[in-house]
Structure 1
Amino acid sequence: MPISSQLKIAAMASVAAMGAFALAAGTPALANHHNKAAEQSQPNIVEAAMGTGVHNTLVAAVKAAGLVDTLVSPGPFTVFAPTDDAFGKLPAGTVDTLLKPENKGQLANVLTYHVVAGRVPAAALGNAIHEAGGTYEFETVAGETLSASLSGDTIVITDGAGRTSTVTMADVKTTNGVIHVTDGVFLPA
């Protein structure tokens, strides 16, 4: 089942669960107000990345690529967010070259290769991996494909060139999506 279908199912289940909770509480208006207040207290994707202390390179790249407005929009988006250490594993000079103004398009392509339209929690991705027989391929906002598999309980992402990265922290919730922290940078083939 495609992630977009899973997202619709998950969203409907989430809405139904919230509705059931509100009815059980006997105060639907108060329950809906509480849910909205809790959601508004969460940061958006860019604010969350800025607050971690380990995504400084990613934030600088998002700014240099002109993607801040997109990643603070309602989305929702799922972002596989490489840490500063992940960017440090790239060949010397790669990040500096990508951050140059003349490489803005290439940088935007690399960054959008880390973004999936919709909110894809780790559980939905894990289910898709199982349903696909162990490896699930999905399209990114860049129009490129990534593959997800499991190593034990850890989600492993393979980029177009066969490089693997692991999700080191899953399901960082934001107002406009979810972040999965990775220990590697995805590069298109």
Structure 2
Amino acid sequence: MKHVKKVSKRTRVLTGSALAAAVALGGVGAYSASAADTAAPAAAKPAAVKAGNTLQTKHLTIDAAQDAAEAVLDAAKKENQKVSVAIVDRNGNTILTLRGDGAGPQSYEAAEKKAFTAVSWNAPTSELTKRLESAPTLKDIPGTLFLAGGAPVTADNAPIAGIGVAGAPSGDLDEKFAQAGVAELAK
């Protein structure tokens, strides 16, 4: 019969720990390898867009929008009117909105909608109200407001922005003040 050498408790604990660590690391390695197989491939370089497949547009600067908005508020103040003014870009995104001192709470949103409507159709909103007679469902388009007070801003015969004004007792006055903003941009 063979004699088995006795191993100390300390040696058995260390050997068992090393064996457990080796098994655990082997499992992690297998898991990592399988996870790498299912991971998305490395991102490729974006392809350059073919010439002629893009369009370049002009945009109103924030400084120009601020100047136009101040011209609107100054024109309204000269006639003792309390209005809000909104300026949107070609896509209808608001560049800025100013609620004039004392302007009614409804004027803020109405100004934005008038600006959006003016740039969307590249026409003053006073002209667009006349189109409702032949196409009454136009007013159902979300974000629009077919009341006088919106004016488009153009560059190279293309719309680049809209100015909307609301709060005066008549749409004619709102539109007059919006046109003061357009005139400021032409300087």
TM-score by length of 1: 0.32
Which has the greater radius of gyration? 2
Write 1 or 2 for the structure with the bigger share of strand. Answer: 1
TM-score by length of 2: 0.32
